[in-house]
Copies of this chain bind each other. A is one copy, B any other.
Amino acid sequence: MSKPYVVGIDIGGTNTVFGIVDARGVVLASSSIKTQKHSTIEGYIDELYDELTKLIKANDAEDKIHGIGIGAPNANYYSGMIEAGVNLPWPTPIPLAQLVSEKFGIPVAITNDANAAAIGEMTYGAARGLKDFIMITLGTGVGSGIVINGQLVYGHDGFAGELGHVIMKRNNGRLCGCGRTGCLEAYCSATGVARTAREFLEIRTEPSILRNIPVDEITSKDVYDAAIAGDKLAKDVFDYTGEILGEALADFTVFSAPEAFILFGGLAKSGDLLMKPLRNSLEKNVMKVWKGKVKVLLSELKEADAAVLGASALGWEAKPVTAATPAALPTAPAANA
């Protein structure tokens, strides 16, 4: 391979992490800058260029970068744009793929964080060899990346795979960040777990370790710690969360009949507390033809590297983006081609 490396960039609200990755998923080197430091996107990209170029030179990787993959909130694979509605300090839409590609002279592909995670898992992690799977990221929100027949699903407009916003409670559902009510994300995210705990503490009278914490400060980590310590109410919170997530995965199964769901993110590390009620609920709720057949796996990417790895995997399929054709990628290539 004449260009044996890719660069992965994960743009978060606070930090931008980037690294150089080889074809087997080894992160050669990584670094980060503060996302919020620059008031203009140009200033931000200048610093990114300086820091990344340093890293590339230090690792003797000049002229060896096949492509740059970027994971960013609301990033559209087709248009190369970061669309409106994100917590970034620059006006949207941001023609990110074009700006970075022009600055570096290297092909760039972008997508949202959950899609990047799915591609990363398929290229280097638990989904190697799987052609049909759904990545579910359980963090502050619930994200998803859907892979069908070896291809990531972008949909007609590039925004497919928002499974955190399937409606799980049609009546009296919780308000979701998207403005609607009853979304999966409002229940099965880290935030959702904390909300469930607060609800249970309010409507139930039994003692709980969680009553020692000011109710507005309870986090999913507190609920986890309490459950591990044997707290009944906290364990019930995980049962409730797992049950709803299992109902959701049962519904997702009738859509694309995936071989496996792969869970990623803080909440996915709750062990049997979440996995047991989740698997029970999935089996209870799924159509007969799929009973006992759908796997629920955990991500195999090291958390510290996962964001960079996921984004970098997209770098293998990056194609040159020119100023004249920022949106000229009408067809989605095979994600791991």
Contact = CB atoms under 8 A, between A and B. Distances in A.
Contacts of A154: 149, 257
A69 interface: no
Interface string A244-279: 000100111011111100000000000000000000
A163 interface: yes
Interface stretch (A287-295, A305-313, A321-329): A287-295
A12 B271 CA distance: 47
A37 interface: no
A162 B286 CA distance: 11
Given A167-B251, A178-B287, A180-B285, A155 B148 contact: yes
A157 interface: yes
A256 B332 contact: no
Interface string A131-150: 11000000000000010111
B153 A148 contact: yes
B155 A257 contact: yes
Interface string A154-165: 111111111101
A214 interface: no
Interface string A166-210: 111110000000111000000000000000000000000000000
> Helix, strand, loop or mixed for chain A's interface?
loop
Contacts of A256: 146, 153, 155, 160-161, 255
B255 A157 contact: no
Contacts of A170: 168-170, 247
A157 B259 CA distance: 8
A328 to B, nearest CB: 15
Interface string A50-63: 00000000000000
A151 interface: yes
A132 B159 contact: no
A254 B248 CA distance: 13
A254 B153 contact: no
B288 A166 contact: no
A212 interface: no
Contact of A157 (B161, B251, B257): B257
Contacts of A2: none
A149 B158 CA distance: 11
Contacts of A289: 83, 159
A252 B157 CA distance: 14
A258 B180 CA distance: 20
Contact of A257 (B160, B247, B251, B287): B160
Contacts of A287: 162, 165, 178, 180
A51 B149 CA distance: 37
Interface centre among A170, A254, A257, A331 (most CB of B within 10 A): A254
Nearest to A331: B149
B178 A156 contact: no
Given A159-B290, A252-B255, 9 more contacts: A149-B153, A149-B332, A153-B255, A156-B257, A159-B257, A160-B256, A163-B254, A167-B250, A170-B170
